[in-house]
Structure 1
Amino acid sequence: MDVYLFDEPFSALDAISEQHIIKRLNLKTKMSITIFITHRYSSLRLADFILVLKDGELVESGSHQELQKAGKYYSELIKAQIEPIDHLAQLDET
């Protein structure tokens, strides 16, 4: 079995290009293990399984839905990415 490792492969891409590449990769790597190191919500929500690291330690794992439902560290990170304007406004108010 082939294993592919990608470290922040979409950091310089717009969301449309990212989605196009992910779809193509899914077709090419169907019978492989593909590991993405990423901080982007758009990539994370498509993953089968997510490992969440904080300060080099594994703090959570599961699917996007499971981690969102748990409402812990992953959920807070995603919330900050989805609602950056609201988050920044709250910071300005303090």
Structure 2
Amino acid sequence: MEFLSSAILSGFVYDMLKHQVSITTASIKEKLKEWIVDEAVAPVLAEEIEKLSLNDEMSEKAIERKILGSGEIQKILSSIKPNNTTVITQNHSGVGDNVGGNKITR
């Protein structure tokens, strides 16, 4: 998973504006669930996005330019890391065990 960038954030914000979703702490946390967002970061990020005076008539590229122009949002984005949860799914059919690799039999 890639780090949270201005382009990714602008896509989320564009979708939120397009679907008339308010930019709040809760909506930011929902959109950024694939990244580790600290409880203190989400409200600050939502507040900084609100300061940009974005609207639903703006293109995704215009939103990205505004986000790139905000030094405060850039600092916040650099502190957000991807959620590195690893999920292992195993499928097993037939006889035998579910242990991979070299097996030592005695």
> Which category describes the TM-score, using the shorter chain as reference length?
under 0.3
Structure with greater Cα Rg: 2
Which one scores higher on RCO, CA 8 angstroms, separation ≥ 6? Answer: 2
Instruction: Tell me which protein shows more strand as a share of its residues.
Output: 1
TM-score between the two structures when normalised by the length of structure 2: 0.25
